[in-house]
Chains A and B, each alone.
Chain A
Amino acid sequence: MAAGQPGRQIMAEKTLFRLSVQHQDRWSTFDADSGIVSLSEKLSAEQLRRYEIFKDYREPFLERISPDVTVASWKKGSVLFEEGSYIDLAFFVLEGEVELSLKAGQGQAEASRPILETQPTKPVGWQEADTAAAEKTVYFTKTQFQKSNQIAFLSSLDIDLPPGDVMRLGKGEFFGEIGALNGWPQSVTAQTASDCLLIQIRIPALRRMKEKSEVFKDRIDSIYRKRSLFRQLKESPLFSSCPDTFLVGLSKKVELVSCRPDDVVVAEGTPADSLYLVRSGFVKISRRLGEGQQVLSYLSKGMSFGEPELLFEELEDWACSYSSVGYSELVKFSFSDLRRVVQAHPEVESGLWEQAAARIKQSGGSGRDLHKSEFIQFALEKGLVEGNSVLVIDLNDCTRCDDCVRACADTHGGRPRFVREGDRYANLLITKACYHCQDPVCLIGCPTGAIRRANVGEVVEIRDDICIGCSNCADNCPYDAIVMHDTRSRWGDDAVPKSLRGQERLLASKCDLCYTSASDPACVRNCPQGCAHRVGSIEEFRQLLDERQRV
């Protein structure tokens, strides 16, 4: 149930009317940039089927996704997207060549821009390449992000670029879909090396394609398995010294595990037989204490668990329970496979021991301190670990004047994007304003792709002109951060099928960190007591707590 108005399921799939208008809506901002020479009109199902990538789909389906597909021709030398930016498109090269490079060099790429910069990415062009060339395995380098510590992000781009090198993609190459689907930042910069013709596919279409077509899904998974997983293994502290061929082999043997919220991956006391690597989402470490479970710590992207159990023969069973906090994806390595690795490559063992020590320390420390574990439990439940920018209000200073809400409303046309309500921890109120999650769940299920990363760091925004008010995002958001506003208008008769005519038109809205203005978010700027803070990580939250409780 969304906070505010109850959601209505307006089935966008059923609006067959005015698809061309939808197409116009969705692609309208793209040719604001100089690189695009022309964008096609909405393509009919027939036209789409001519392309290799769409040939497996049936015409009604193609018709349905056609508003989210366009063919764009690009000038030579224009930038498609830059490292660290977010895109909501996937690209297929029809003609021409696209050049990929790492601008900043190995390991130091500023992949995540600070929130206050307003530099939207430009869409990119495509180049044709041989289909056979698509089988080429290429790898990418690890990039470090500003905030996170040594977490190897899984790039959406499976290109291996030694520093200073440039890679070219030609006709038939398809890339960008993983980053688009998952809302992750790009790890390379793409530029057109010549005049290009590209098919650009937006997320809603991509998602449906993945759901609809096993072939497509397998393709994505296999690409991931071959390329991204390999890269991650290569970059992880465990396997960095292993030869590539071995890792390729290993990557073929792993199992990919998907978890829903609260799924127990492994339970305390059960036999331990696998090492797990967290691919996305968060995993909670807990141990039985009395009648309940005491939360000890948590793991995020790129971290692994199971090293102590692997190394110590005596630890046959899992010492703690590991369960998924939200939706998460894990990579599972069986111990037998790994033991062979250790035998063949003794240098891996030292890395494993280090990790094991870190793991034991992490869970041991919290075990003794109930307060700390209570805090971690709270942080996991309320999603503080997720959030890149959580609006926290210190209630000891807040005079409940609502100036923050008023400022938000004034900045956004009279409609505030949050309410000064939420959970409370000690004297800090965690308001229901968008957290700008690292792994936003709200992006899933948007039929029009109106909700997306704003290409300014981690800001998630909703584009008013595209949103149809289906409230999927509001329903999905676990933190009630999205509000459905009543626009007091109705859909035009030709925009919706008969059964839905006369319905109110709603608009989803959420905090966008005021990224279009050059200053701090309006809520923080306008609190007279200075008690509104945007907290970026759990450490910052802790710090704020310590500071404010002293006073």
Chain B
Amino acid sequence: MSQENQAEKGRFSKVGLPVAKSYIYPAGRNRLLLFGLGGALAAAALFGADAWLSRGELISNGPLSSAHASFEDDCQACHTSFEPVSDQKCLVCHEKYASDPALHSFDSHYVYRSNDLTRAYRRQGETACFDCHPEHGGRQARIISVGDSKCLPCHEFDAFDSAHPQFDFLAEGQSDDSKLSFTHIRHVQNVRREKTLDDIEEACLACHQPLADGKRFAPIDFELHCQGCHLGPAQRVQSEQLDVLPPGRALVTPQGGLNLGVESLATVRRRQGPGEQWALQASPAEFRERGGTVVKLRLYHEDPWILHNLRMLRRSLYPSAGLADLLKASAQVPSAQADILYREAAATLREYLDGLRGRSDDRSAMRELIDLDRLLSRTEERIRRGNDPMDDAQFLLPDQINPALSNEQVEQIAEFAEQLTAACRKCHILDRATIARVQKDQRVLRRAEFNHRVHILQRRCLDCHGGIPFYDLIGPLAAADQSPEADPQVDRSAIQNLPGIEECRACHQSGLVDDGCVTCHRFHPDERDESRLLLHSGQGFSVGQGGSR
């Protein structure tokens, strides 16, 4: 290096170099850590003190809802150390749901709750309550109102106003058929006339009477709603003139002959067969027998004499009908209500038994009694258990008609049956020698709940039940030349006049009225069994479980 460079080794090199510890390890180096540690310890002290001495407010996720605020200080009311929040803690107060965990209807929800699709049973202490009802949301939080986000991951109906399917009743292609010859418009006109009502909807209320809670309406019942005009004391409806079947004769002879006729009251009385107690109570004055024919002068609803004879005719057509004999009407019910059939059958059997009990001297009667008793207890057991799926299979008539009968004979029998039930057929429908069961259950919503009271304040009946165009046909602005009987085609086409989902969507859409899942669907089932997410009554865990009941 040259001399001149030696002299000016940089401008600052003459100043002494601080090769000192303070240069290499400056005080500021540890200051950073000290600040941090100080802050950290302060924070730890703060949170720790809060957790142990105070209410743990700082570490909590938020205040509790106002319903639970009274034990906000008592963490152990819900939490167990080192364990997730357990259902049992909720059930301590909410006992309604404690009596039978199965009522949670978690069976299909259970599997998904655990995130384990291979499991179908519930494990001890598995939590479910807080998944839909999370706490620590603040005083104003409404725990009961469960948001759609809890349901939608599995039930992929994004929004009520778009993706929710049409109601079962209408969607499944079931016809609006109550199996009754009924026309709304004519009836409404009659009621209006009779009660001098201007308002159509007031006429609705004459038959459709709301229950005390205002949510639902009383089911239509013949005695309550129809008897006033049909088959009531004021009307005297009589049957047609029918041939009498001589006593001792069978309808269908072994040789293949056919004796069409009805049994007279005297014949039935004499026989005193099972289920024929009614004959002892019937008045002979109601019958007029003349020259081998009989006319019943006064018919009642579910007239036992007509049903008895109809049964006989049916038996001739379907000799091995089995349990169908126990029913008064046909066996068609909505599948969820198959237990109705069982109940009816049981009632009939009880009647039979009552009839048989008094005749202890009749040996065959005793044998029959024992058999029937057995059958009855089995049926009742079936109803009680409710495990096995109930259906109407055993009650259905077989498809094949008695092969011993010729076609002509079958036609004759059918014609005779029609004659027999002429009066019934004014309203009822006869099919295969059986009165078709009236589909009385007018519930559109089976898995959801509808509250008429809150709706009726804002809407009128016909705003939603708009299937039948009342206002167009008989309303004040209807054309005068419209016949009051209107068009039976129109009238009969919407006989139950139940609204579809479009009616609901008019108001229940996003931005307007609440359209969340829980608005209509109850998750926790009602003991009154009015609506369940599962359609099987009394069912606990359905998937491969031995039964928790």
Contact = CB atoms under 8 A, between A and B. Distances in A.
Nearest to A441: B1
Contact of B25 (A261, A325, A406): A406
Interface in A401-426: 402, 405-406, 409, 414-416, 419, 421-423
Interface in A362-415: 381, 383, 402, 405-406, 409, 414-415
Contacts of A405: 23-24
A37 B21 CA distance: 45
Interface of B: 1-3, 5-6, 9-10, 12-13, 16-17, 19, 21, 23-25
B19 to A, nearest CB: 6
Contact of B19 (A262, A422, A483): A483
A409 B29 CA distance: 15
Interface size class of A (residues with CB under 8 A): 20 to 34
Contact of A381 (B1, B12, B24): B1
Interface in A337-384: 381, 383
Contacts of A485: 19
Given A381-B1, A383-B1, A405-B24, A478 B6 contact: yes
A46 B5 CA distance: 47
A478 B4 CA distance: 11
Contact of A261 (B2, B13, B24): B2
A3 interface: yes
Contacts of B2: 261-262, 325, 381
Nearest to B9: A480
A423 B10 contact: yes
Residue of B2, B12, B21, B23 with most partner-chain A CB within 10 A: B2
Contacts of A306: none
Given A3-B13, A406-B24, A423-B10, A479 B1 contact: yes
Given A405-B24, A416-B19, A480 B1 contact: no
B24 A419 contact: no
Interface of A: 3-4, 261-262, 325-326, 381, 383, 402, 405-406, 409, 414-416, 419, 421-423, 478-480, 483, 485
A326 B5 CA distance: 11
A418 to B, nearest CB: 9
B307 to A, nearest CB: 99
**Among B10, B13, B19, B21: residue with most chain A CB under 10 A:** B19
B13 A480 contact: yes
B523 to A, nearest CB: 58
A323 to B, nearest CB: 9
A389 to B, nearest CB: 18
A261 B3 contact: yes
Contact of A478 (B1, B10, B17): B1
A339 B153 CA distance: 101
Nearest to A483: B19
Nearest to A406: B24
B19 A261 contact: no
B10 to A, nearest CB: 6
A483 B10 CA distance: 17
Given A402-B24, A405-B23, A416-B24, 12 more contacts: A4-B19, A262-B2, A325-B1, A381-B2, A405-B24, A406-B24, A409-B24, A421-B10, A421-B17, A479-B1, A480-B13, A483-B17
Contacts of A326: 1
Given A405-B24, A409-B24, A419 B19 contact: yes
Contacts of A422: 10
A34 to B, nearest CB: 41
Contacts of A381: 1-2, 5
Contacts of B17: 3-4, 419, 421, 483
Nearest to A417: B19
A261 B3 CA distance: 7
B35 to A, nearest CB: 18
A405 B23 CA distance: 9
A323 B475 CA distance: 124
Contacts of B6: 478
26 contacts: A3-B13, A3-B17, A4-B16, A4-B17, A261-B1, A261-B3, A262-B2, A325-B2, A326-B1, A381-B2, A383-B1, A405-B23, A406-B24, A409-B24, A414-B21, A414-B24, A416-B19, A416-B24, A419-B17, A419-B19, A421-B13, A422-B10, A478-B5, A479-B1, A483-B19, A485-B19
Contacts of A478: 1, 5-6
Nearest to B1: A478
Contacts of A262: 2-3
Nearest to B12: A421
A423 to B, nearest CB: 6
A56 to B, nearest CB: 36
